[in-house]
């Protein structure tokens, strides 16, 4: 399946005194990408948490920064599932400059599936189709 | 009672491309000041939420910005209770430059007391002494 | 002139352990609203800063919180100019639940016009039309 | 040289609706650790940027999350230099629960040395001693 594309515009709040986007914000954008990934695949991450008590807890995050994003730039987050197992899911991301520009960053996050009590569980059957890589 | 003093150091993440602290972060510092206010008065805000289900929900916040704070500056948050009622508490804050410098900002937040279901309640008796202004 | 409407979706990062949007984030949304206000009026805030060295430095911010915003909610920021003077501009904001829901918050920010050296200046002629209230 | 230890207390703003610290904030804490690392070694990161125009631009960040941090927890950031070259520096971090508790996270960041124009440069001689691993 092709990556899911999310567009957002860089906020002033996301810049730092170097005049570029502060590096931790790319992890926020990855989260925005994951949520849109779920919507594009046909369900809401919010409902999965709220209605089924299924949480995708981050156990690893990694990002390579290739070119800076600036205030008011439009950026595209391409999100895909790199690997889906019964108990864990790994997402991959590419952050691109919206105006056909360069690749700004690429990264990944690894998640374990947890129940409402934050104990690891197997991903319920109904969600498996959505995370097929 | 005198204000409670909290010291913190400006993080790089808190600056923006203007080279000064982004304005929303002062509200985060006010929250840090409130938590320290509670500790100085003899209880933990965390425990009040967790053990007694008492939440101080913000219903209004206001800040005047007088001079910019910069990366790595030490700032002092002076926190006090301006008004305490059965169902609401108003805090006041002064943000000062740590090195005997100027007043950077002053503001206030108004809170209603809520139970775990986010419905307004009266502040439980045991906490009244702590918020006496 | 009617307010300028900006839509955004609440990020997971913007929530706190109370399960609602952390209060400082409304000031970030106001900034997003200001930037969109400028675009809707016909210029870019970014360019005004970069090309003309004109900065709208926040000297006061105020927000009243009426109902909580939750993760994945769509919210609308309505932004307007409440008052424009030669040396200062005051914006007003209403934050609404996107699905025809209730008013979540309303607030205002007051700004002085500064040059690249952060000294107050008069708003250059070319920008006056854009901020007419 | 032993790692440099920095202590901080988890802010309410840093939690999310899962009731634990949002994952991007660990990268903010790593930055706080780097700044303290510099102070402990005898110089200010701020001055290096401001006076000598030397910037450590992040090109990669990575974090493994082992146990959650909660609101009001004291956490310790242990920061060390893993590798220092003429043009790049790699930091390693361990985030520990302050009360003798478990390891919460560990990670690393890789930086290239840049001049004021964001072009790569060699780390000036005077700073080499500070980053010896």
Q: What is the pLDDT of residues A25-68, one digit of tens each?
A: 999 999 999 999 999 999 999 999 999 999 999 999 999 999 99
What is the reported pLDDT for B99? 79
What's the average model confidence in pLDDT over A102-120?
96
- Report yes or no on whether pTM surpasses 0.90: yes
Q: Which phi-psi region, left, alpha or beta, contains residue C108 (left: φ > 0; alpha: ψ -120 to 50)?
A: beta
Instruction: Using the predicted structure, report yes or no on whether residue A16 has a pLDDT greater than 80.
Output: yes
| A15 burial via Cβ count (<10 Å: 0-12, 13-18, 19+) | buried
pLDDT band at D107 (very low <50, low <70, confident <90, very high): very high
| Contact residues for B6 (Cβ-Cβ < 8 A; gap 6+) | B32, B33, B36, B76, B77, B79
ipTM of the complex, rounded to two decimals: 0.96
- pLDDT above 70 as % of chain B: 99
Taking the C-alpha atoms of residue B87 and residue C5, their distance in angstroms, rounded to an integer, is: 35
Using one digit for the tens of pLDDT, what is the confidence trace for C24-40?
999 999 999 999 999 99
Using one digit for the tens of pLDDT, what is the confidence trace for C46-82?
999 999 999 999 999 999 999 999 999 999 999 999 9
Residue of C57, C109, C95, C103 lying closest to B62 (CA atoms): C109
- Closest chain B residue to C60, measured at CA: B64
What is the reported pLDDT for A122? 97
Taking the C-alpha atoms of residue A15 and residue A22, their distance in angstroms, rounded to an integer, is: 5
**Which structure tokens are listed for C106?**
């309303």
What's the average model confidence in pLDDT over B19-30?
98
Instruction: Using the predicted structure, report yes or no on whether residue A133 has a pLDDT greater than 80.
Output: no
Q: Which of B55, B65, B109 has the CB atom closest to C58's CB atom?
A: B65
Instruction: Using the predicted structure, report yes or no on whether residue A91 has a pLDDT greater than 90.
Output: yes
Task: Give the orientation angle of helix B45-52 with respect to helix B25-41, to 10 degrees.
Answer: 80
Judge whether A16 counts as a catalytic residue. yes
Residue of A42, A36, A132 lying closest to A89 (CA atoms): A132
Residue of D28, D37, D40 lying closest to D69 (CA atoms): D28
What is the reported pLDDT for B51? 95
pLDDT band at A101 (very low <50, low <70, confident <90, very high): confident
D61/A57 touch (CB, cutoff 8 Å), yes or no: no
What is the reported pLDDT for B14? 98
C28/B24 touch (CB, cutoff 8 Å), yes or no: yes
Instruction: Using the predicted structure, report yes or no on whether residue D133 has a pLDDT greater than 90.
Output: no
Angle at B114 between CA B110 and CA B117, to 5 degrees: 140
Using one digit for the tens of pLDDT, what is the confidence trace for B81-125?
999 999 999 999 999 999 788 999 999 999 999 998 889 999 999
pLDDT band at C100 (very low <50, low <70, confident <90, very high): confident
The set of chains that have 3 or more CB pairs under 8 A with B is A, C, D
């Amino acid at each position: 399946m092709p990556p899911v594309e999310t567009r957002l515009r860089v906020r002033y709040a996301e810049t730092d005194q170097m005049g570029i986007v502060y590096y931790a914000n790319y992890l926020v954008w990855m989260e925005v990408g994951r949520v849109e990934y779920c919507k594009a695949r046909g369900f809401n991450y919010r409902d999965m948490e709220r209605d089924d008590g299924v949480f995708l807890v981050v156990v690893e995050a990694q990002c390579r920064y290739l070119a800076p994003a600036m205030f008011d730039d439009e950026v595209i987050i391409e999100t895909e599932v790199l690997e889906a197992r019964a108990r864990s899911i790994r997402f991959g991301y590419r952050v691109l400059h919206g105006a056909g520009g360069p690749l700004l960053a690429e990264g990944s996050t690894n998640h374990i599936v947890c129940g409402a009590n934050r104990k690891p569980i197997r991903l319920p059957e109904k969600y498996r189709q959505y995370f097929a890589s």
